[in-house]
Structure 1
Amino acid sequence: MLNKLALCAALLSFVPAAHAACVKAPFGDATLYLRGGINNWAAQDEQAFEYRCNAYFLNLRAKGAQEFKLADEEWTPALTIGGDAKGEPARGGAGNIRREFTGEHTLRLTFAADGAPSLQVGPKTFKPMPPKPITDKAALTTHFDSRNAEFKAPFGAQPAGSEIKFSIGNDVPGLKRATLVIERRQMTGNQEQLAYEPVARIDMAPQSRGMGTGFAASYRFDATGIYGYWFEIETAQGIYALQNNKDSIYWTREKGSMGVASIERLPNNTNRVRRYRQTIHAPGFEVPPWAQDGVYYYVFPERFRNGDKTNDPRPGGGRPQDRYQDRDVERHASWMEKPFKPGTGDGSDQLFNNDFFGGDLAGLIDKLDYIKGLGANALYLTPVFRAPSNHKYDAADYKQIDPAFGS
């Protein structure tokens, strides 16, 4: 009986009580994300908190020990909650928050009167607010397809100075107004900071389209860059965003793989709109002839082949490749061993990225005929410049091949 009462109390603690005093969200309109090892420290929609009444809630599926911070898309200091020495949430905390997970959970973030954060992790009980379904036929039948010349021409990346024509249309009467929204993506800083700056809002001209209504507009892109575009449409029942789909795009927070558009109610914060993307390149750019028929073979040099054992990183040595920052490297005795992973009991130290097998450029040269025989005629290598790690993305000298790879 006591266990059942305790469980009920835990469940109730994660449900906003009807009589609880509701307060404004402490972070205003900003969206708060769980950012940690579970999502490569990115601000992903799947780990976005929802504010309800007097707390931020997030349903999370995770297992084992996890470290993370709570922050907005841009790691704004005033909107970032780190961890203290005990792994508890703290404003301005330099460390990470630490928690153990066993599957499906609800996270509840609250703030004391003095602003101190508190994070509870319990059974999954929170029900996110579902979007209100759209029943507006005029909106639901409005079409756009970025890969169809009927809706967008010309197709693909274009040189600066190009004029691109856009059109949308629907199958039933009721589309009253349409606006083509052109924006430019900010390309500075970490690209998980998804931000667009306004460029133009163009009223689209109505066109006859069977039983429905069509709208068309064109825009001349005079400057190079990555642009975003979408359509704001209005019917008798409301205003909507005709936008990109929800497909995930690797290495960015941006959603949408282009093609057929989706329709959603216009959000209060247009940062939530999923833009179509348009690349505008320098007018004189041409794809090199050799690249037009390129078939790439992708190589991670450290794990491809060991062709020269004399340059292998070795613990305790005095050469640059024998040290990882201020520590020894870890050397695998067998090529077929699994890479080390700290904290798993495999006998390795607590550092990531410092275990080596001995792969190098000599090993790649040994296998050029093999690669050519597969049909590849170009190589794509992960970084090969001087760096302490095994992956070399932390390059220290872009003018020198790492000594562990040769010359």
Structure 2
Amino acid sequence: MPHVYYNSWISDYKKPFGAVQPNEKITFQVDVHESHRSEVQFMVRKENGAHDEKAYLMKGIGDNRFSYSYAPHEGKGLYFYYFAVKWKDDKGEEMSAFWGASSVKGEGKLYHNLHEVIPYQLTCFEKEENTPDWYREAVFYQIFPDRFYNGNPDGQVNAPKRNSFLYGDTRDTPLYVRGQKGEILRWDFYGGNLEGIRQKIPYLKDLGINAIYLNPIFQAASNHRYDTADYMKIDPMLGDEKLFKEIIEKLHAEGIHVILDGVFSHVGRNSIYFNYDGTYGEDEGACRNQESPYYPWFTFTDYPNKYASWWGIDDLPEVDKFNKEFQDYIYQDDGSVIDKWSKLGVDGWRLDVADELPDEFIAGIRHKLEQYPEKVLIGEVWEDASNKISYDERRQYILGNHLHGVMNYPFRNTVLDLLQLEKTPKELCQRLTQLHENYPKDILFNNLNNIGTHDTKRIYTFLGEDKARLKLALSFLLIAPGIPCIYYGDEAGVTGEQDPDNRKFFPWEDIDQDIFKHCQRWITERKQNSTLKYGDFVLFHTDDMLGMLRFTDEEYTIYMINPHDEEKTCHADKLHFLRKVPLTEEVIKGILKDVTIDGKSDFFVTGKI
């Protein structure tokens, strides 16, 4: 049996690292040690390509190494490859084995049976996804508008909705008012509004924020506003279009950009488009008039009471995204939804439930945004977006001309697994390096990183209200490649279980200053440290600690986390880097030799290369 070795993360075996563009040459090399003469083949196929799997004979180049240079020539998409080794045993019988990926890819493993082989993924993308400088240098802050601040001088709630519930005090715990079947009987509101955001601009600037991601602000029945009633109107509880325009201008003047939440998979049942309850007229909307221009947007199975809805939730009728009139309304026509808000100064969009939007729909929005300068398009995808399959289709999210990046939930999962000691540092380094390999470089660095959102338990609660671990989570968020996004209140020590408890009103009178200052300090470091904004990265680990090296051609930053309660010492001979680094072994040992890190603490150093 031959000894075979290949590691897609090491440049000696695969160069260049990671995703490539069509017709870009890649050199693959594999080591095969076998006393008898061996034949090594590079096996490759493009998913849904025009050709079946192809075999290419690799050339022996000495020292038991075999090489082949390949260029993906069937355009963008996913290519899958492995290596076949053939030899004759002592009896002259032909034998074969196969080197493919393991569950964590990278180093891979030897397989004896072809049907067991897990191939390596090679991502081939159409074009680089360059984003404007403002985005690459951004530190985002996610605001759930109803829960941030009420800017009215008397604290009154703007335009209260019928059949709603208003809290008596902003310190009250959020609670859904439900019926016997679990349905919402009364939507609950605290009264946060756009004027409140304007008045808190000094707070955001003091923290160091220079970009805002707003949860939905269009007219809707609920407090979360993912049940859009009218895409063309600001919800009256928040303000109006005139005020919104003023706030956008004020934010821009203060160096703060804004992206909106685009909820285009579904609308609200009580919307101008569906009009279940007749709010917009007895004979208006798809649910009340089959002659309505909106009727073709929806799929009825038993008119008017049974219809397709998002995840079976009656309150959220699903829209047919292939409907030409809906596409025209959202992005195609002059005066579309994307047109209107882009002209008012919005800097980009985060697409809600991107899995529910066809690739052509996402591409259409992107094409429209290209007509405006310096806009970005981010998608909500919870998994590795490079190989995501939804509704039986491999998605094109990150292959060019679709999304600039995605919400990086795999990063959040890594942070939580590290700080809760659920996985080893080695396993987590491998997980993040796999994403690094699968994503085009621009996409990875455009991803919107988070450690908490309106859809997750509060990070402070997740970590058992352990302040030291929360600080590590915030530090790692601001050190890592990608664009950091802080969920409102995480910097203030807000706690909360799942929705609705994770959507408390911001505690303006009870901000944890220790956490705030910690977050503020790391934001300042990120904004003034070019390696953290633009630098590449390599992950490394010891048995107990995880580290990250960020670097440009001129500078480096090294960051290590000790997630354990006890102090740990870094011994240079126990360091394991997953990829080649731009620093010599001597320099690395000089920096990290016998570094001792207190329990639940970190180590940070910068220098010149």
Report the TM-score when normalising by structure 1. 0.43
Structure number with the higher helix fraction is 2
Structure number with the higher strand fraction is 1
Q: Tell which has more relative contact order, 1 or 2 (C-alpha 8 A, sep 6+).
A: 2
Report the TM-score when normalising by structure 2. 0.31
